[in-house]
Amino acid sequence: MSYTCIDYTLQDGVATITLNRPDVYNALNDEITYELQDALKAVAKDDAVRVVVITGAGKAFCSGQDLKAASGAEKRSFIDSLHKRYNPIIRAMRNLPKPIVGRLNGVAAGAGCSLALACDIVVASEEATLIEVFINIGLVPDSGSSYFLPRLTGLAKAFELCSMGSRVKASEALQLGLVNKVVPAGQLDATVKEYTDYYASAPTKSIGLIKKMLQKASTASLDEMLEYEAYCQEIAGNTEDYREGVKAFLEKRKPVFKGK
């Protein structure tokens, strides 16, 4: 696949999507948001993809909306922009039945912060920061930030971060539960690879079901989750990977999962 504003690679089951506008800290214009939507559709359809990495080129992860590009364009409805450009990205990420690892190499601001929070695993460089920067230009959080933040940090801290536009350094982000791991910049790739090596050889369908289950659990009752667990377990129990897992256990060897 050929793109202008993102790079897409697939190797050994790992699809890497790199936001590639480093001169503007990977700010989001129309083209990059539509290309990102297209890439997420591609990984959903491609059985060869077992895990996805999202990162940014250069020093930043993503600085959010490209305000310079937006100011030079014809005035548009915020509703239209979110419905057409941003919301489809977040929905695609959360509905993708495969794990997404965020490689947080630098600043993640505004919608870029939302993009990081929508990942399933986030590995951050010590130099990375997250900022809900919307309030600094008189806007409110979008692209899912108002959904993800209170679930991760609690209501009071989420309100503080959104209403004050506080800059959260990687170490604090780890304490708040916004990221899974923080490492020196020089160890970022190796640490991301530890995750992708695991997920690329894991039972992919079960991972996808776990993702759906945990997402549903945030709004469901215990009884609803007991029923949903049974439903998902029936699906998982009919996969080739389940049969391989049992066979490997009985044969006292490591299972070779195919993601099927």
pLDDT per position as a tens digit, 17-34: 999 999 999 999 999 999
Nearest to 121 by CA among 210, 48, 34: 210
Contact 85, 134 (CB under 8 A): no
DSSP-derived secondary structure letter, 85: I
In the predicted model, is pLDDT for residue 64 greater than 80?
yes
Query: Helix, strand, coil proportions of the chain in percent (round to 5)?
Result: 55, 15, 30
Residue spans per domain, the chain = 6-200, 204-250
pLDDT per position as a tens digit, 152-203: 999 999 999 999 999 999 999 999 999 999 999 999 999 999 999 999 999 9
Global pTM reads 0.93
Degrees, nearest 5: CA angle 143-144-145? 100
Contact 226, 218 (CB under 8 A): no
6-200 architecture in CATH?
A: Alpha-Beta Complex (3.90)
| CATH homologous superfamily, domain 204-250 | Lyase 2-enoyl-coa Hydratase, Chain  A, domain 2 (1.10.12.10)
